[in-house]
A and B are shown apart, each in its own frame.
Chain A
Amino acid sequence: MSGATIEVLYFAQVAEHLGTRQETQALDAPVQAGAWLDALAARCPALGPAARLKLAINQEHAGRQDMIRPGDEVAVFEPVTGG
């Protein structure tokens, strides 16, 4: 078995919908962020369409075309509202 994982962080309403702020997921091979987000949205319909969700990979804003690799820190959130 492989021990490859990613650390996933959820914030604000995304965390509320999923009932957690952090989880470790198995990930053996790189996956495109868009496909990974679609799977998350399918798992939790309350999140709404995956296209609305934003993500960061290793604390940098990322898009659906970017790759998530084993060992990455991935964050999922709605459009930010600071300031």
Chain B
Amino acid sequence: MVVIQTEPFDVAALIARLQDRGAGRAGAQVHFLGTVRDYSPEAGSRSLFLDHYPGMCEREIQSLCNRAMQRWDILDTLVVHRVGELPLGDPIVFVGVASAHRGEAFRACEYIIDTLKTRAPFWKRETLADGQAFWVRQQHADALKTEQWNTDPNRDHES
């Protein structure tokens, strides 16, 4: 399940929802929570604005979750991503994966957040304390992580 929303989310409620959807089959949940950080610490950040492509965001993230379901033995996924104006420290994204055992869920959760960062059509604009605003650039390290998931078959298994 994929949800895009402007309002804050309650992590405890999302965990409970994932547990309910598992109907007793899930023995493990793995979660990733992303929060608004300061992208230019030397200048001081005030807030973050997220632009997005409605429709394509949901489709793209769902497609990444479907790929994770095929690649690992997991039961369910839940992704919530916020858009609009977000203050420093606020949660931006929640990725939850439910499975019978933890190993597969850890890998699937990391895969979903890594690939979301380079595939899902969101764009961050940071506003500094002095009012100056700029669009955040995609990190080369993020692109490399997605590339590794596509090229390294060893990442599928327990090592």
Contact = CB atoms under 8 A, between A and B. Distances in A.
Nearest to A9: B53
Interface in B98-152: 113, 116-125, 135-138, 142-143
Contacts of B53: 9, 11, 56, 59, 75, 77
Interface in B29-77: 34, 50-53, 55-57, 59-60
Name the interface size band of chain A.
10 to 19
Interface residues of B, number: 30
Q: Is the interface of B mostly helix, strand, loop or mixed?
A: mixed
A81 B56 CA distance: 15
Contact of B123 (A59, A61, A80): A80
B137 A80 contact: no
A80 B119 contact: yes
Contacts, number: 75
Contact of B118 (A9, A15, A56, A80): A80
A72 to B, nearest CB: 13
A80 B117 CA distance: 7
B137 A81 contact: yes
A79 B128 CA distance: 22
Given A83-B113, A83-B116, A77 B56 contact: no
14 contacts: A13-B123, A59-B59, A61-B60, A61-B119, A77-B121, A79-B118, A80-B120, A80-B138, A81-B136, A81-B138, A82-B52, A82-B57, A83-B92, A83-B120
